[in-house]
Amino acid sequence: MSPYIYVLTTNGLLFLLSVIFWKFPPKKINNFYGYRTFKAMQNQDIWDFANTNFNKSLLFYSGISFLGGLLLAQFSAKEISWEPMVLVMLSILVSIIKTERALSDNFTDEGKRKK
């Protein structure tokens, strides 16, 4: 498989999904679509904050991942195998960690905004 096709189907797909999540965020708390953790689903205020924060973060880091994957494909002397998937996983992991940290900084455990 061509390295470019591999990057498009991994990193490119994540970037496309992040654009969709950013353009069409979930309006109400649900079990199917959006950033769904126990803390994010406590109330509508937290839900909106968590999804906005996660979508911006995922868009940024998946864009970096996509560009990094394209650079790997451009400069690799052999077939690339696991490197683009590591970039995908790091993008998702960093976005989750940043969102959970932002939730902890802005909301109490009971679901109220910190002042």
pLDDT in tens, 47-106: 999 999 999 999 999 999 999 999 988 887 677 878 889 999 999 999 999 999 999 999
Q: Would you list the domain boundaries of the chain?
A: 3-106
Angle at which helices 83-106 and 44-75 cross, to 10°? 160
pLDDT in tens, 16-53: 999 999 999 999 999 999 999 999 999 999 999 999 99
- Give the pair of three-digit tokens for residue 85: 């998937």
Handedness of CA 46, 50, 53, 59 (dihedral sign): negative
Q: Please say whether the beta carbons of 55 and 22 come within 8 A.
A: yes
pTM above 0.85, yes or no: yes
